[in-house]
Chains A and B, each alone.
Chain A
Amino acid sequence: MPFRSVFDQIFTIWTAIAGGVFVLVTAVLLFAVVRNRATKREHLPFAASENHKVEFGYVVVLGLIVAGLVTGSFLAISRLHSGEGLAEEAMAGPSTRIDVTAFRWCWEFAYAEAPVTVTGTCTSDDSPVVVVPTDRPVEFALTSSDVVHSFWIPDWAAKMDAYPDDVNELRMVFPEEGMWRGLCSEFCGTHHVTMDFYVRAVSPAEYEQYLAAASVAA
């Protein structure tokens, strides 16, 4: 799911539309506030208290706006699910599966491909770092061992809840190398605030080396 690129695009369009509507409504309001002061006007600008033709016409316009926005929203959803460009091919391909177990108050990442498990206590310097390969789909299989948590990587606009007795799959591709912070975004109690983890994306070759080394260490 190419969350970030889809998010950036549709968020920009939606913000532009919202900005336009806000400016329009506020301009009409301010215009009326300046022009229609009772001290300035002797008579009402217009006395009609209804106009069904205008209002029906306006409802049609609203309907068209809704149709446009719903279409945009649906297209974005389908792009989220099917991927796009490089990611589209990658989404279909085999993935790196990582079983993520959220618990109060940290995370455990278990690789399906190798006997490697990463965890920590999420206290000051002990946040788990999950290493993932770039350009290849990574599937985070999210579950929880106690309450509801939510797996969020803000920089990639990716978020999915983790439940006990349930697995939610979050499939995504990291197109570049780097390290990003992830956190829990569903309130889960006292140390919810410190439930941080890091995602480190490395080249597939480096990733294989990492897994091999970590398996030996384990």
Chain B
Amino acid sequence: MTRTAGIPTPVEPGRGGEPGLLAGWLTSTDHKRIGLLTLGTSLVMMLIAGGLAMVMRAQLAQPELEVLTNDRYNQFFTMHGSMMIYLVMTPFAIGAGLYLVPLQIGAPNVAAPRTTMTGYWLYLVGGLIILSGFFTTSGAADHGWYSYPPLASSRYTPGAGVSLWIIGVGLVALGLLLMAATVLWTALLKRAEGMTMLRMPVFSWSIVATNLMVIGAFPTLLVAVGILAFGRVNPDIFTDNVWNIGYQHLFWFFGHPVVYVMFFPFVGAVAEVLATFARRRFFGYKFFVGSQLLFAALSMSVWGHHMFTTNESSDYYYSLMSIALIIPAGIEYFDMLATVVGGRLRFTAPMLFALAFIPQFLIGGLTGIMTATPAIDYQITDSYFIVAHWHYTLAAGSLFGLFAAVYFWWPKASGRMLREGLGKVHFWLWVIGTNVTFLPMFWLGMEGMPRRIPSYLPEDGFGTGNLIATIGAGLLALGGLVFITNVVISFLRPRWAPPDPWGGHTCEWATSCPPPRHNFDARHPVPPVRSYAPLLDLREEKERQAKAGAG
């Protein structure tokens, strides 16, 4: 102490004031805030992409309608697909992992939060760049979400839209890659004491498998859009067909795994919701985890089934690998069904969405076996049958998983309950709307309606099916509005959520709603972890003690 005599007392440097609300969020190093930014941004993007779909459904309701010109329609379907895939489902899947994985594994934060935030910025800026195409004179990108050259070259699609699309998709892919990497790092190396790999919740495991695929597949997308970028400068490269076919291989090497990126986290969420509202331990945990890893591995070897009609991919090999996906998918279905069959069910809004996911996604999966069979695929590819197929996987499937997750974890993230009644109205509108919209598309495809057409003739005979589909889309829009109303009400007239409103199984339900800055604190410590359902363990322990005491 005496040694410091004579030296001026150090003054605490000014803290520079608390950051404002916007700066506080946009410069946050809290995984919850970065996660919520990602999830919120993707939901806003979903609203826009859904709006585009509604306009297209209006145009297709009857033959020869002209709500939009051909070119404008082409922009709408391109942007609808691009947004739903690059800006909605994929970022939501990765963002949900970012928000939930640290909470589920008892970590105070994500590893490398600044890198993670950089990932969000890249996603946001990339998304805005893609959308900014609408404000250029030639309009937004209008060449389809998989952007095949030579159509994507500056020779055949000049104008800024496609260039902006390429830059935007590149930034988004890079951002999501960073985010997936830090979340994977967190899951692998930042788990709480007692949280072994085989005690991680099912949802966290689904994120591990998802992020492994992201790391395996997204770099290829960066290479693919690099080729496209070069083709904007020098379109002559595509006169050599190897670049066209090569692009397709690179693209689908990314394109098939990304389908499962948009599926695993939602099936993981559905598994958590089913177990919670069946009031039982999830059945077949180890098989479920193993099947996700097998699924992820197989996903890297099935891309050629998108290319059977190119005559440049092996019919036999890709049919074999694609049909083999039945094994991991079958295990997952078995475990989900066994959980429901062995449970005591409570039918809350998240549970309803999770239950509907099972048969609805199944339709997408079973028609997927048809696309994996070249003799069938030659006919149905690029027809409305395919449109129906992947809307059953992504809309009737993943989107229902997404809303199961939103209704389930909303109280955790916001501290507020959503209204159950409105949630159920949303659910029924969507169950009916989804099937009324997408089921007729199977028949339209069989009758020969190709995808990506802005109009059709009265004599084509597509009128009735399309009219039904458009009515269904109206129900979906209505359901969307009910959900927005529910969200607004939860903010205006909050009903505060207790830490564990549902009787959850996993660590995030041990902490407050919303969780404190570092997820767990003295009042809400990480619970002891002895299995993949630590809170259920505690409840069962209490019941046993009560019984012993009574006896």
Contact = CB atoms under 8 A, between A and B. Distances in A.
A58 B74 CA distance: 46
A69 interface: yes
A193 B454 contact: yes
A147 to B, nearest CB: 4
Interface in A104-133: 104
Interface string B295-333: 000000000000001110001100110011011001101
Interface in A16-55: 18, 21-22, 25-26, 28-29, 31-33, 36-38, 41, 43-51, 55
Interface residues of B, number: 79
A53 to B, nearest CB: 12
B245 A77 contact: no
B345 A25 contact: no
A37 to B, nearest CB: 6
Contacts of A191: 70
Contacts of A184: 450
B378 A18 contact: no
B330 A62 contact: yes
A77 B319 contact: yes
A38 B342 CA distance: 11
A206 interface: no
A25 B359 contact: yes
A150 interface: yes
Contact of B70 (A47, A186, A190): A190
B162 to A, nearest CB: 12
A183 B481 CA distance: 39
Given A66-B326, A148-B244, A164-B241, A22 B363 contact: yes
A210 interface: no
A25 B355 CA distance: 12
A21 B366 CA distance: 8
B74 A190 contact: yes
A21 B362 contact: yes
B345 A33 contact: yes
Given A74-B319, A187-B452, A161 B310 contact: yes
Interface stretch (B94-102, B282-290, B432-440): B282-290
B226 interface: no
A160 to B, nearest CB: 6
A88 B15 CA distance: 84
A166 B241 contact: yes
Contacts, number: 230
B376 interface: yes
Contact of B382 (A26, A163, A186): A186
Contacts of A6: 375
Interface residues of A, number: 75
A154 B144 contact: no
B333 A44 contact: no
A25 to B, nearest CB: 6
B401 to A, nearest CB: 15
Given A59-B331, A74-B319, A152-B450, A164 B238 contact: yes
Given A165-B239, A187-B151, A26 B359 contact: yes
B358 A147 contact: no
A14 B373 contact: yes
B164 interface: no
Nearest to A75: B375
A189 B153 CA distance: 12
B379 A49 contact: no
Nearest to B376: A11
A90 interface: no
A214 interface: no
A212 B157 CA distance: 41
B19 to A, nearest CB: 46
Contacts of B455: 193
B369 A14 contact: yes
Nearest to B351: A33
A197 interface: no
B480 interface: no
A163 B278 CA distance: 53
A192 interface: yes
A186 B147 CA distance: 11
Interface string A164-208: 111010000000000001011111111111000000000000000
Given A29-B359, A36-B340, A152 B284 contact: no
Which of A47, A55, A104, A191 has most chain B Cβ within 10 Å? A55
A18 B362 CA distance: 9
A86 interface: no
Contact of A152 (B151, B358, B382): B382
A10 interface: yes
A7 B378 contact: yes
Nearest to A20: B366
B448 interface: yes
B364 to A, nearest CB: 11
Contacts of B347: 37
Contact of B359 (A10, A22, A65): A22
A150 B282 CA distance: 47
Given A44-B280, A73-B323, 6 more contacts: A11-B370, A41-B344, A62-B327, A63-B327, A161-B310, A163-B310
Which 3 residue pairs across A and B have the least CB separation, nearest first?
A154-B448, A76-B375, A18-B366
9 contacts: A29-B337, A29-B355, A37-B345, A38-B345, A50-B285, A159-B381, A165-B239, A190-B74, A193-B454
